[in-house]
Amino acid sequence: MDRSAAGRGGAWAELRDAISTRAVLVMVGVLLLQLGFALSYMGAFHAPKPHRIPIVVVAPQAVEKDLVARLNALPGDPLLVSSVPDRIQARSRLLDRRTDAALVVDAAGRTDTLLVASAGGTSAADAATKVVQAVERAQDRAIVVRDIRPPAAGDSRGLSSFYLVLSWTIGGYLAASALNMAAGSKRPTLRRILVRLAAMVPYAFVSGIGGAIIVGPVLNCLPGAFWDLVGIGTLVVFASGAVGVALQSLAGTVGLGLTILIFTILGNPSSGGVYPASLLPPFWRAIGQALPPGAGTTVVRNTVYFDGNATTGALWILGAWAFGGIVAAVLSAALRGRRHTPVAQEVDH
């Protein structure tokens, strides 16, 4: 036998032994996740453009309708404008999170006031300010910007809510993955699924406490609302973990990749943490608040800065993901167990 051929055969056999078909498929999956990460984040963030940023206008009746129509007719639809009767209602809309800015027109002079609440998202406040400033300059008017609810001193650019929820969601699905790996890669039984879901409860609670301590007493990023944050964190982590348990029960190792796709690749750039929905492209704008990172960021931010206003829908979203994860995990294990039971009985007989 030709030695060179034998050498080549031996090298190929050694290569196949070192890198199995399963390993190649896993590497392909990792590559797809990597490319998806790059596409999703850069697709969402590479060219933020204002689109229908909600603002309200307080203006004299003589100019109100014309001003609202003119602002709504700006090229590209950067603003979504409605009118309110007075400054008090404008402030209320801002603090209730029903608008991102309020333009108060001075009927007696040429200097108007733009009210913003940048704790709800500095990017949206900045974008609204730039658009309105350009309009005011074109009308030979000046504008004064007043921030009635800025972020805390330790919460630079108002991003702490986003990063806190990011840590909670990643921790949740990594904990679920750790439970799966610790028990082996075989599909778990119904009993094991129930144990894993039960184990996620204390883990989620401790994670909630840990996150609240870090952003509160340790770093003073999000002061106040300590126990509120503990509860929110528990829900976010459990939702992430329950979905992780479910997807790994359904799809094994592939389930971890699907969880990363949902929570990290799609969920984080669309969450509104860095750029709000009004600055994101249509796809990310549409999915952001339906995914746990977006819902979680909204709940944390509005709880800490806006007395819990506009959080009900986001809490329902988090609860739905948690409940859906439980149901999917339990049903997948139960159905798998029923399929295997007849086979086991036939072998016994």
Distances (CA, A) of 263 to 270, 293, 342: 10, 7, 37
The two structure tokens encoding residue 292: 């746990």
| 107: pLDDT strictly greater than 60 | yes
Please report which confidence band the pLDDT of residue 149 belongs to, taking 50, 70 and 90 as the band edges. Answer: very high
Closest CA to 176 of 26, 326, 25, 24: 326
The mean predicted confidence, pLDDT, of the chain is 89
Range 189-196 average pLDDT:
90
Distance CA 94, CA 117 (A): 7
Residue 74, burial from CB neighbour count under 10 angstroms (0-12, 13-18, 19+)? middle
Q: Structure pTM?
A: 0.89
**What are 320-346's pLDDT values in tens digits?**
999 999 999 999 888 887 776 554 444
So what's the pLDDT on residue 347? 42
Of 11-25, 63-77, 193-207, 316-330, give the lowest mean pLDDT range: 11-25
Question: Helix, strand, or coil here: 151?
Answer: coil
Q: Write down the pLDDT at residue 343.
A: 45
pLDDT of residue 228: 97
Helices (H), 144-189: 160-182
pLDDT for 162 equals 95
Whether residue 85 is predicted with pLDDT greater than 70 in this model: the reply is yes
* DSSP secondary structure letters along 302-344: HHHHSTTTT-HHHHHHHHHHHHHHHHHHHHHHHHHHHHHHHHH
**What is the token pair recorded at 209?**
């406490």
d(CA 164, CA 211): 7
